[in-house]
Amino acid sequence: MRLQRFLARSGVASRRGSEDLMTAGRVSVNGQVVRELGTKVDSTKDVVTVDGVVIEAAAEAAYLMLNKPSGFLTTMKDPQDRPCVASLVPRDQYPGLFPVGRLDKDTTGLLLFSTDGDFAQAILHPKHYVWKTYEAIVDGLVQDEELDPLREGILLDDGRCAPACCHVEKYFEQEASTLVEIKIHEGRKNQVKRMLARIGHPVLALHRSYVGCLGLGDLRPGSWRMLTREELDLICIEKGAGA
């Protein structure tokens, strides 16, 4: 298989990240530095190293979902020893496990993990149209027409967003706040928060309920479970349909 695919499947990095490692001269095959993208390796014979560390071929990729609680960073290691999602998932059982995308420290909900870099790339790349569904409690009582700029594709400081699907779900009259459902297929940093702030309704609380067709169901905050083969097939069909 291609070297960058081997690295991604082994959990070293995403496919794009693996390509960056190669072009930086950090990857060797049988003792020779390999920079050329597309180089093929035989996982049963060739010895692949990254920064001198031998990379073992993954026997079988792992795929799971976590119901992320608030207060945890989406990282597998934090130099300041702050709480991070690595402590909530079976990283010892599945070496190379990494989060597929990210949720902010104060954002809760569905976070996927895998050891398969190609899977992560397919889920995260906006061209595949894997929709992420969020429930946002925002400041103020939102009128439906105020969401039109989001539906049309609102302009942020890093460019125009793709059109979002959104609607008002519930009003909290006493708190002067609104529950808004919003679906996007991009993954810019703080995107949902910035979109809603742009229309004058800053986010008070944010929860991701779905990634594509995958929902949390009765999975409790702080708990994880493996994805079923049926779920993997469904999300692969979905991303393929939008590509």
Average pLDDT over the chain, rounded to an integer = 91
Fold of 131-211: Alpha-Beta Plaits (3.30.70)
Q: How much of the chain, in percent, has pLDDT values that exceed 70? A: 95
CATH 3.30.70.1560 placement within the chain: 131-211
Fold of 63-126+213-242: Alpha-Beta Plaits (3.30.70)
Does residue 104 have an active-site annotation? yes
More confident residue, 121 or 222: 222
Options 46, 78, 92, 104, the catalytic residue? 104
28-37, 58-67, 150-159, 199-208: range with lowest mean pLDDT: 58-67
Distances (CA, A) of 17 to 38, 76, 109, 220: 14, 16, 26, 32
**Per-residue confidence (pLDDT) for residue 241, from 0 to 100:** 44
In this prediction the pTM is: 0.77
CATH 3.10.290.10 placement within the chain: 3-54
Q: How many Å separate Cα 91 from the centre of its chain?
A: 17
Beta bridge partners of 208: 109, 134
Please give the average per-residue pLDDT across 89-102, as a whole number.
88
